[in-house]
Every structure is written in C-alpha cells, then in structure tokens.
Amino acid sequence: MVQREEKIWMDGKFIPWGEANVHILTHSLHYGLAVFEGIRCYLCHDGRPAVFRLGRHVERLFDSAQIGDIKIPFSKREIQEACKETLRMNQLKEGYIRPIVFISDGVRGVYPGDNPIRVGIATWTWGAYLGEEALEKGIRVKISSYTRHHVNVMMTKGKICGNYVNSVLAKREVIKMGYDEALILDTEGYVSEGSGENVFMVKNGVLKTTPLTSILPGITRDSVIHIARDKGMNLVEERFTRDELYTADEAFFTGTAAEVTPIREIDDRKIGDGKRYPVTREIQTTFFDIVKGKNPAYIEWLDYL
C-alpha cells in the first residue's frame, strides 16, 4: 500500500503523503460525486517501465467527468504527464496509478454550486488484485443479491465514486460467504459485471461478453476483444443469463486490477472441468506478454516512462 515517504500529486504539485488530506466538509465525501481511474504500470521485459493504455484511461476519466457534469481543471495531456511524473517521483517501476477528481468544500447542500474541483494522483505497489494463485487456478464467484445500477439511476459508463457503493456491498456480501468475487446481474436479470471487472464466457469455442449498454467500458475488456479478434477467435458482444454462464466451458474476469483472472466456480458450480482453461490461458498469456512489452504488434498500447 501507499508508503509514507511517497509523494502525492495534488492540484498540480507534489506534496508529502501525510499532507494529502481533504476537509471533512468536502462535498464529494458527503454525496459521492467524484470520478476516478485505475491504471497499471508494468516493468517490461527490457527493464523499462510502461503505463498500459494511459491515453485511453485518461479519456475515460474525462468521460466519467462529463457524465458526472464535472469540469476537470487540467487538460488530458497534463493529467497523462502527471500520472507518469508521479510514478517517476516515487521511483515506482511497476504499480498502480489512482487519479481522483472531486468536488471540494464550499456550498454545503446537495447542489455543489461552484465548489472548487480538485485532482489528486496517488501511486502504489499492487501485485495481483485477487492473488497470484487466482491468476493460475481461477477464483470462486458468487452472484450477488444486489442488482447492478439501472442506466437511468446511477448510470454505468462513468467511474463515479458513489457508484461503487453497489460494488462494495456486493463484494463484502460474497467475501463473508467465503467466495472470492461477486458477479452482479443487471436490472433485467442478465449478467452485467463483477464488483470491479468485466466478464467473459467461452462455449463451444465462441467467446461471449456483455454488450457495453449498461456496464463500465473496461479497457482490459477492450484489449481482450482486440486480442481475441486478432487471433481469429469467434467473439460476440451479447447479453447472457446466469444459467448460460453455469454451463459455459470457461469464464473469466477482466480488469486493470484483476487483469485476466479465470473463474473456476460460479455459485458452487464448477465451470468446465474446473481446472483447465485453454482459451482463457491463451488470452491471459498474450495479455501479459503485451503489457510487458513482449509483443511488438501492440506496442502502441504502452507509454514508456
């Protein structure tokens, strides 16, 4: 986690870790309207660190802000540079970058008025989000009793802080029951996404993932779609149900934190033989080669420090 000697980028300058605090009356803290990103930097095979799809992540930060009607007081280029600068400042060659844009103190009701918009960027070392073993053996997933957001209640395409109450509740619920991750159904009962991941299934050689209509447009999801299509795999973006997933040959989660994580069980039902995931494994291996700079065909996805 964040080390005390690390620096945080705050509103355009670096400040010590211990000074990166906000006032208790920060508007976002009370009402949940703030937006954030999660980005990874990998140490490549040649010893150089590279941020994975930085430009696309910063685009999504601005899309989230647009959805939340927040005006970010920096340009996309400035935020991109600040992300890289923070890694350099903290001498981090591999890790996680967390930009957050929030509404500061000022007006004290739901209406945020002209309260200042503030931006922070933190970096820290983060290994496999669901554990090294998860990447290898797969995880046990439970369908949450909570429903994912309705598109006209919280909306789903922005990484808006308040939206994550749903994810936290779902995740906590299934962890208490002894599972590794939650899968959440949409308001019509179809599979939507994990608490912080998109989901894919494989059946008879066809890869299927949920359409973008009511999920977060995951950048790992997009990368996997590119990889699968480039490999000539048959891939469809189509709604599916929990029972279709129960009978899948393979299933996996994708996310910046979760990377490509096989799912070995859903609701205590083994997926496939619960051991081998040939399609998942092929995509996972290619994904890790790409992020580590070993695949020249995808080098434009890397932003070397």
- Site pattern 27..66 for ligand PMP (x: CB under 6 A): -----------x----------------------------
- Shortest distance, CB of residue 21 to ligand PMP, whole angstroms? 25
180 lines the binding site for ligand PMP (CB under 6 A): no
What Cα–Cα distance (Å) separates residue 81 from each residue in 35, 71, 108?
18, 19, 33
Does residue 255 bind ligand PMP (CB under 6 A)? yes
User: What is the Cα–Cα distance from 181 to 205, expressed in whole angstroms?
Assistant: 25
Considering only CA atoms, which of 183, 188, 196 is closest in space to residue 248? Answer: 183
Is residue 158 at the binding interface for ligand PMP, with CB under 6 A as the rule?
no
Q: How many residues bind ligand PMP (CB under 6 A)?
A: 14
- 7 vs 159, beta carbon nearer ligand PMP: 159
Task: Indicate the SS3 state at residue 72.
Answer: coil
Provide the sign of the torsion angle of the four alpha carbons 75, 80, 83, 87, taken in this order: negative
**Mapping DSSP to helix (H, G, I), strand (E, B) and coil, where does residue 86 land?**
helix
The residue among 74 and 287 lying less far from ligand PMP, judged by its C-beta, is: 287
| Shortest distance (Å) from residue 138 CB to ligand PMP | 18
The verdict on 196 binding ligand PMP (CB under 6 A) reads: yes
Positive or negative, the CA dihedral 245, 194, 82, 87 is: negative
Smallest distance from ligand PMP to CB 269, Å: 23
User: Cα–Cα distance between 78 and 85 in angstroms, integer?
Assistant: 10
Q: How far apart are CA 252 and CA 199, in angstroms?
A: 6
> Rounded to an integer, what distance in angstroms lies between the CA atom of residue 203 and that of residue 224?
16
Q: What is the rounded distance in angstroms from the CA atom of residue 289 to the CA atom of residue 302?
A: 12
**Smallest distance from ligand PMP to CB 120, Å:** 17
**CB 65, CB 126: distance < 8 Å:** no
* Residue 71 a catalytic site member: no
**123 vs 220 by CB, closer to ligand PMP:** 220
Give dist(CA 300, CA 305) in Å, integer.
Answer: 14
- Residue 181 is a binding residue for ligand PMP (CB under 6 A): no
Other CB atoms closer than 10 Å to residue 212's CB: what's the count?
A: 15
Q: Does 197 bind ligand PMP (CB under 6 A)?
A: yes
Q: Which of 7, 84, 142, 159 does the annotation list as catalytic?
A: 159
7 counts as binding ligand PMP under rule CB under 6 A: no
State in angstroms the smallest separation of the CB of 267 from ligand PMP: 20
Binds ligand PMP (CB under 6 A): choice among 28, 198, 209, 286: 198
In order of 8, 14, 55, 136, 152, the CA distances from 11 in angstroms are 10, 8, 20, 40, 32
3-state secondary structure of 55: helix
Stretch that binds ligand PMP, among 41-49, 129-137, 139-147, 253-261 (CB under 6 A): 253-261
- Compute the least distance from the CB of residue 105 to ligand PMP, in Å: 27
Contact call for residue 80 and ligand PMP (CB under 6 A)? no
- By the rule CB under 6 A, 220 interacts with ligand PMP: yes
* Active site (catalytic) residues: 159
Q: Which residues bind ligand PMP (CB under 6 A)?
A: 38, 167, 193, 196-198, 216, 218-221, 254-256
